[in-house]
Chain A
Amino acid sequence: MAAIRETGISQLRRGVLEFCVLALLRDGERYSYELVRALGDADGLVTTEGTLYPLLARLRREGVVETTWRESPSGPPRRYYHLTPDGQAALGGFATEWTRFRDSVDALIGNGVLR
Chain B
Amino acid sequence: MTTDTLHPLAAEYLESLRRAGRGLPPGRLRELLAEIEGHLSEAIDPSASDAQVLTVLDKLGEPEAIIEAETPHPDEPPDRRGVREWAAIILLLFGGFIVGFGWIAGLILLWSSRAWTTRDKWIGTLVVPGGLATSVVIGLVATGAPTKHLCRGIVGGAQHCTSAAGPSNMSSILGVAVFAVLVLAPIATSVYLARRASQR
Complex interface: chain B residues within 8 A of A36 (CB): 39
Judge whether B199 is part of the interface by a CB distance below 8 angstroms.
yes
Shortest CB–CB separation between residue A21 and chain B, in angstroms?
Answer: 14
Interface of chain B, helix or strand or loop or mixed? helix
Interface of chain A, helix or strand or loop or mixed? helix
Complex interface: chain B residues within 8 A of A28 (CB): none
Complex interface: chain A residues within 8 A of B35 (CB): 32, 53, 56-57, 79
Contact A76 B200 (CB under 8 A): no
Number of interchain pairs (Cβ within 8 Å): 73
Question: With A and B bound together, what is the CA distance between A24 and B20 in angstroms?
Answer: 30
Contact A57 B62 (CB under 8 A): no
Give the number of chain B interface residues (Cβ < 8 Å): 28
Complex interface: chain A residues within 8 A of B65 (CB): 48, 50-51
Shortest CB–CB separation between residue B41 and chain A, in angstroms?
Answer: 5
Contact A57 B70 (CB under 8 A): yes
Question: What 1/0 flags go to B54-86 for Cβ under 8 Å of A?
Answer: 000001111101100110001100000000000
Given contacts A76-B2, A76-B41, whether A50 and B199 have CB atoms under 8 Å apart is no
Contact A61 B66 (CB under 8 A): no
Shortest CB–CB separation between residue B70 and chain A, in angstroms?
Answer: 4
Contact A62 B61 (CB under 8 A): no
Judge whether A78 is part of the interface by a CB distance below 8 angstroms.
yes
> Could you write out 8 A-B pairs with CB less than 8 Å apart?
A33-B43, A49-B59, A50-B61, A55-B69, A61-B117, A62-B117, A75-B38, A86-B118
5 smallest CB-CB distances across A and B, nearest first, come from A48-B61, A50-B60, A54-B70, A51-B69, A50-B66
